[in-house]
Amino acid sequence: MSRLLSGDLPRSRALAVLLALLLVGLAAAPFLFPGTRSLNVAAKIAVFVLLAASYDLLLGYAGIVSFAHTMFFGIGGYGVAIAMARLGSGWGALAAGCLAALALSLAVALAIGLLSLRVRAIFFSMITLAVASFFQILASQLSGVTGGEDGMNVRLPEPLGSKLVAYYLVFAAALALFLVLLRVVNSPFGRVLLAIRENEFRAEAVGYRLVNYRTAANCLAAAAATAAGILYAIWLRYTGPQATLSFDIMVDLLLMVVIGGMGTMYGAAVGATVFVVAQSYLRDGMKALSGALAGVPLLPELFHPDRWLLWLGVLFVLSVYFFPFGIVGQLRARAARAGA
Amino acid sequence: MPEPMLALSGVNTRIAQYHILQGVDFEVPRGGLTMLLGRNGAGKTTCLRTIMGLWRASSGRVLCDRAEIQDLKTPDIARLGVAYVPENMGIFAGLTVRENVLLAARAGDPEAKRLDWIFGLFPALKQFWHGLAGNLSGGQKQMLAVARAIVEPRKLLLVDEPTKGLAPAIVGSMIEAFRELKRTETTILVVEQNFHFARSLGDTVAVMDSGRIVHTGAMAALAADAALQQRLLGLSLDSHQ
Amino acid sequence: MSARADWIPVALVPALALVALPFIPSGATWLTLTVAGLAMGMMIFMMAAGLTLVFGLMDVLNFAHGIFISFGAYAAASVLTRMSARLQEASLASDLSAMAPAVLAAIGLAALLGLFFERVIIRPVYGEHLKQILVTMGGLIVFEQLILVVWGPDMIPLPRPGAISGSFIVGDAAIERYRVLAVVVGVVVFVAMWLLLNRTRIGLLVRAGVENPEMVESLGYRIRRLFVGVFVAGSGLAGLGGAMWAMYQEQVNAQIGMQVLVVIFIVVIIGGLGSVGGCFVGAMLVGLLANYTGYLAPKLALGSNILLMVLVLLWRPRGLYPVGRA
């Protein structure tokens, strides 16, 4: 087990239980939670766990705040969609789409890495915001190729027509890639990333070329995000600017990774799960609460189901101040105290 | 004997995981010029910055004219009458020479007499009064930095390596300027590597090594004792700069 | 504003206008577009100036800056809706008597928000850039939701002041009165800022503080108070920009802050982080370009400012007027 997790154990019974539950829940979802809605939620969780993990690599391990991450997510989705639309719906077309998407993502990630990582962090973040915005505009303007605002449907090869098969493909791929990311962050490469994040000057003094490591991290994260995009497109059988490129998704990712716990990988998994579940089911709870508060000024508005992002945002801000290592950090700290 | 203007006792300063000042004790007599000498990395700049409140002492006391200042914030320390000329001079390159000096004159426009005195010490400043400070030469920038520190009367002047990187001719004018300054009531504490400069101007001397004071005394005594110089500073009288 | 002899970036503004001239068939259209571009640029400048100054002085990047714009816009909307009766009387005096309190409300609310933000949200994370980015992003999310709570999700139309609507006719061109007003207000604001920064002691402190805050403290000034003041002023200015933008668009919606945020970032990057003058030039360029491309090549319009940013960065990697940190 330890080898499978690359030596990165949960280090907290509570966390281990949570993760085990998550794994079992996702693995047996079609049987445990029958129904299209729950299966949708499960698939979405799988995809976003991978996406959030890729973002954690960037944010939590390499210390890079990029707002362009959804771009890679979108490239994955559009790569598959465009390939399937142009090259027929066979496995070859799917493979071609995946490869093209990965190639494009890596090229863009390389460009961003080499050009922008030489500048100050704040400059970089602002530029990624502009780049992401540009991409979104591109996707919605080139409607001939990308279907514009409406997006594109994705035609899939025969076996993937069954939701069950598609689900297990998504689940298995997401799990495998998550474990790969876990490997990466626990390798010497990952340790250097952490060292750079801790103390840039020292790392540079010791001889590590920061730009190379950061660019590599950027590329790896981009590749993983692209894969997530491919999986999402396969599941939804659709891709579009709202589903993949919108800034809302970027914000969601931030929330997931920070609330879950930056720099832990498991945090991304926990955060993504909490987020998607809340997004799908919390609103019902809030609706009830809002109804109960009818008549009171402002309060019903505060708890209106559409305002769930408000509360998550508050949780996010509080996390940054008080729980810098998120849920996972808290659980681990508690376990350490109990153990020690 | 009048009370010292500045007295440090048991001052420790830590930066990140480095313990730089390790129990510094020394006094700066009122009205004179004290030189703080020592090898590179001994902690001299840290000492000045701690006095000025730019870095917090983790323990110990700093007394300035009998007032405890180790817990005060930098602007408040400055308002007590302490002026600081940092190692990199701290010139505002985007402002004119005039604006630099104006900024330093907290009480309003500087007195004409005072300005004339400063121009007497540093004629170049009058010449470039309306020019951008960033366009000055290294030596002129240093003069501006010192001029700023004295545009109003101060109790204590902290100067960090005023001759660093300056040509010998400019060093000469610096020595002259400081001689003039010594005639005022200001107490001056100077960190220096240039022993010639130090010897010409210092009344008292303190030597630092590895975050501690290893010697204090009269400059004349140190200047006369080549063996002591060799031991403390690794140099002798003739091999300076 | 510290680069005195460097006029090349400033010259780019009229240069751009002249370059567009041959492409636009009618001189009248060119004039209309140019005025529209300048007006847009002025409003963007007002919205962006606070951000760049705060960054230059305090090394703080407030991603939530858009909130000041949004709240300013909404405050103006609320006041104007309440005063819509006055706006029907088509006299300049009654129009201004309705717009003035709207604008003041916008500035006031935005400034108060700024005070809250500086104290509660940003102060705990001074110097930690990563946390700052995250926290201000979080603040953006939360406050954007709060707008929805207070004002609801629907778009609120703004009543147009009677005397200010309509256009001046100059030859063949119709120049909207409101745009002229925006340009006038923008110029007044810019001149006021310039005077404040270059002719007053406070301005001196700000300019020095942008270069070397530590030295300013060593000279005896409590720069923290200056920071707060600049932050609040920048927020208020953003509120003013938001109010004017809302009146220009004749509506407010909850995304107003986010929509302009990207443009503002681009302007700030083009101008150079910390330079008010650069921000002004950048805003003018962006405004003009948006209007010219909107007419000549609409598909290109949305992405045009990003292309502009890339070009500028290739020429001057730190923006038009980079402000040095000692």
Cβ <8 Å between A313 and C262: no
Q: Pick C149 or C215 by higher pLDDT.
A: C215
What is the rounded distance in angstroms from the CA atom of residue C203 to the CA atom of residue B163? Answer: 32
Cβ <8 Å between A133 and C262: yes
CB-based contact, B92 to chain C, within 8 Å = yes
Distances (CA, A) of C198 to A291, B128, C185, C227, C248: 57, 19, 20, 18, 31
Residue A273 pLDDT: 93
Residue A339 pLDDT: 66
A130 to chain C: which residues are within 8 Å by CB?
262, 265-266, 269, 306, 309
What is the rounded distance in angstroms from the CA atom of residue A69 to the CA atom of residue A56? Answer: 11
Residue C119: strand, helix, or coil = helix
Would you say the C-alpha torsion A250, A251, A252, A255 has a positive or negative sign?
positive
pLDDT band at C90 (very low <50, low <70, confident <90, very high): low
Instruction: Closest CB to B103: pick one of C2, C219, C326.
Output: C219
- Residue B174 token pair: 């610096």
pLDDT band at C282 (very low <50, low <70, confident <90, very high): very high
Domain ranges of chain A: 13-339
Q: Please indicate, yes or no, if residue C321 is contained in any of the structural domains.
A: no
What DSSP state is assigned to residue A288? H
Per-residue pLDDT of B76-116, as tens digits, reads 999 999 999 998 889 998 899 999 999 999 888 888 888 99
Phi-psi region of C32 (alpha: psi -120 to 50; beta: other; left: phi over 0): alpha
In this structure, what CATH number is given to the domain that contains residue C112?
Answer: 1.10.3470
Give C325's contacts (C-beta < 8 A, 6+ positions apart): C211, C212
Instruction: Closest CB to B52: pick one of C218, C222, C324.
Output: C218
**Please, what is the end-to-end C-alpha distance for chain B in angstroms?**
35
**DSSP characters over B106-168:** TTSSPPHHHHHHHHHH-HHHHHTTTSBGGGS-HHHHHHHHHHHHHSS--SEEEEE-TTTT--H
What is the rounded distance in angstroms from the CA atom of residue A92 to the CA atom of residue A144? Answer: 23
Instruction: Closest CB to C269: pick one of A126, A301, A309.
Output: A126
What is the rounded distance in angstroms from the CA atom of residue C164 to the CA atom of residue C98? Answer: 12
H helices within B151-225, ranges in order?
168-182, 195-201, 219-224
What is the rounded distance in angstroms from the CA atom of residue B52 to the CA atom of residue B67? Answer: 13
Maximum mean pLDDT: which of A192-206, B220-234, C13-27, C37-51: C37-51
* Chain B neighbors (3+ CB pairs < 8 Å): C
Contact C211/C324 with Cβ under 8 angstroms?
yes
Residue A87, amino acid: L
Give the pLDDT of chain A (340 residues) as one tens digit per residue.
Answer: 677 777 777 777 888 888 888 888 888 888 888 888 888 899 999 999 999 999 999 988 888 888 889 999 999 999 998 888 888 778 888 888 899 999 999 999 988 877 765 667 777 888 888 888 888 888 888 877 777 778 888 888 877 778 888 899 999 999 999 999 999 988 888 888 888 877 766 777 777 777 788 888 989 999 999 999 999 999 998 888 888 888 889 988 988 998 898 888 899 999 999 989 888 887 777 777 777 777 777 777 777 777 778 888 888 888 888 887 888 888 888 888 876 5
What DSSP state is assigned to residue A154? -
How close, in Å, is residue A131 to chain C by CA atoms? 8
Per-residue pLDDT of B45-54, as tens digits, reads 999 999 999 9
- Judge: domain A13-339, CATH 3.40.10: no
How close, in Å, is residue C269 to chain A by CA atoms? 8
| CA angle in degrees (0–180, nearest 5) for C212-C213-C214 | 95
Residue of chain C minimizing CA distance to A143: C299
Per-residue pLDDT of C123-157, as tens digits, reads 888 877 778 888 898 898 899 888 888 888 888 88
What is the rounded distance in angstroms from the CA atom of residue A213 to the CA atom of residue A210? Answer: 5
Q: Pick B230 or A56 by higher pLDDT.
A: A56
Per-residue pLDDT of A184-234, as tens digits, reads 988 888 888 888 877 766 777 777 777 788 888 989 999 999 999 999 999
Residue closest to C147 by CA, chosen among C68, C246, C241: C68
The whole domain housing C214 covers 8-315
Per-residue pLDDT of C49-78, as tens digits, reads 989 988 888 888 888 899 999 999 999 988
Per-residue pLDDT of B142-173, as tens digits, reads 999 999 999 998 999 999 999 888 888 888 88
**DSSP characters over C202-255:** HHHHHHHHHH-HHHHHHTT--HHHHHHHHHHHHHHHHHHHHHHHHHHHTEE-TT
What is the rounded distance in angstroms from the CA atom of residue C179 to the CA atom of residue A55? Answer: 44
| CA angle in degrees (0–180, nearest 5) for C47-C324-B157 | 120
C221 to chain B: which residues are within 8 Å by CB?
75, 106
What is the rounded distance in angstroms from the CA atom of residue A332 to the CA atom of residue C56? Answer: 39
Q: Point out the least confidently predicted range of A223-232, A243-252, B118-127, C239-248.
A: A243-252
Residue C324 pLDDT: 59
Residue A159: strand, helix, or coil = helix
The yes-or-no verdict on residue C256 having pLDDT over 70 is yes
Q: Point out the least confidently predicted range of B236-240, C36-40, C285-289.
A: B236-240
Residue C100: strand, helix, or coil = helix
Residue closest to B222 by CA, chosen among B192, B198, B190, B193: B198
Residue C2 pLDDT: 43
What DSSP state is assigned to residue B3? P
Give B169's contacts (C-beta < 8 A, 6+ positions apart): none
Q: Please indicate, yes or no, if residue C325 is contained in any of the structural domains.
A: no
Q: Please indicate, yes or no, if residue C148 is contained in any of the structural domains.
A: yes
Around Cβ C184, how many Cβ atoms within 10 Å? 12
Phi-psi region of B81 (alpha: psi -120 to 50; beta: other; left: phi over 0): left
Residue A211: strand, helix, or coil = helix
Residue closest to B143 by CA, chosen among B115, B124, B168: B124
What is the rounded distance in angstroms from the CA atom of residue A184 to the CA atom of residue A216? Answer: 11
What mean pLDDT comes out for the span C109-127? 89
Q: Structural domain tally of chain C? A: 1
Give B121's contacts (C-beta < 8 A, 6+ positions apart): B143, B147, B176, B177, B180
Cβ <8 Å between A317 and C262: no
Mean pLDDT of chain C: 85
Residue of chain C minimizing CA distance to A131: C306
* Chain C neighbors (3+ CB pairs < 8 Å): A, B
How close, in Å, is residue B203 to chain C by CA atoms? 26
Q: Which residue has the tokens 């290893």?
A: B214
Cβ <8 Å between A126 and C146: no
Residue closest to C37 by CA, chosen among C312, C265, C320, C305: C305
CA A236: distance to chain centroid? 16
The yes-or-no verdict on residue B237 having pLDDT over 70 is no
Phi-psi region of A33 (alpha: psi -120 to 50; beta: other; left: phi over 0): beta
For chain B, positions 116-135, list CB contacts with chain C under 8 A: 132
Q: Which of C197, C219, C225, C227 to mutate to test the interface with B (most CBs of B within 10 A)?
A: C219
Instruction: Closest CB to C299: pick one of A133, A141, A251.
Output: A141
CB-based contact, B48 to chain C, within 8 Å = no
Contact B49/B42 with Cβ under 8 angstroms?
no
Q: Please indicate, yes or no, if residue C157 is contained in any of the structural domains.
A: yes
Contact B189/B83 with Cβ under 8 angstroms?
no
How close, in Å, is residue A38 to chain C by CA atoms? 27
How close, in Å, is residue A186 to chain C by CA atoms? 23
Residue closest to B53 by CA, chosen among C210, C217, C228, C221: C217
What DSSP state is assigned to residue C3? -
